Amino acid sequence: MDILSTGLLWDEDKILKKYKMLNRYENIIEFDLFYYPYWVMEINSTIRGKFLKDRTYIERVIVNGKTGKAYRIVNEPELETVDDQDIMNIMADFGTDIDTAMKNGCELHDKHFEKKFNHPLRPRIEMTLGEIDVDKVYKPFWIINNGKDLESDKILVVDGTTGIAGITESGSIIDSWKEIKNTIQTRVF
């Protein structure tokens, strides 16, 4: 079965070139590739107001597949299909169901709409929720640590698509990774 992924664009060599501090560690550095689940939603709405004819308003929202926290998508990544047999042992399961994800995504959509359009001293604009498209997406992350004792070691999470380290969701990604650490194939450099 094929699944959607944001694509793995960063490998170990690129990460070591960008984050030169990793080369200073005396211990061996371990790179674990880990796929983390998200719900990606495209929410179509119709907006209308006193001076505004009916228009379609589309917003894309992403919901963390484990915690259920919703975020707006600023730059939508290109999605590719990956055979789930290739990454089965290195991907986390969803912790939130589709109904919870849709509820959280729609709440964020409503809050953002109110903040963007309905300011005081302006004519009120109304929104009618329309069609919602939902997809399961797995995003690759590199989990980098420098030892075997996972509780005391510092662990760095690097986005496998953008190469950015220190993302806000590092805590939930590390927790999910620790749950299935025994089944992950570790590559040592």
Burial class (CB in 10 A: 0-12, 13-18, 19+), 105: buried
**Which amino acid is present at 146?**
N
pLDDT tens for the 189 residues of the chain, in order: 677 888 888 888 888 888 887 777 666 678 888 888 999 999 888 888 877 788 888 889 999 988 889 988 887 778 888 776 666 667 778 888 889 999 999 899 888 888 888 777 777 788 888 888 888 888 889 888 766 656 655 788 888 888 888 778 888 888 888 877 755 445 554
| Whole-angstrom distance, CA of residue 30 vs CA of residue 40 | 30
Q: Please tell me the pTM assigned to this model.
A: 0.79
Can you tell me the distance from the alpha carbon of 172 to that of 13, in angstroms, rounded to the nearest whole number?
25
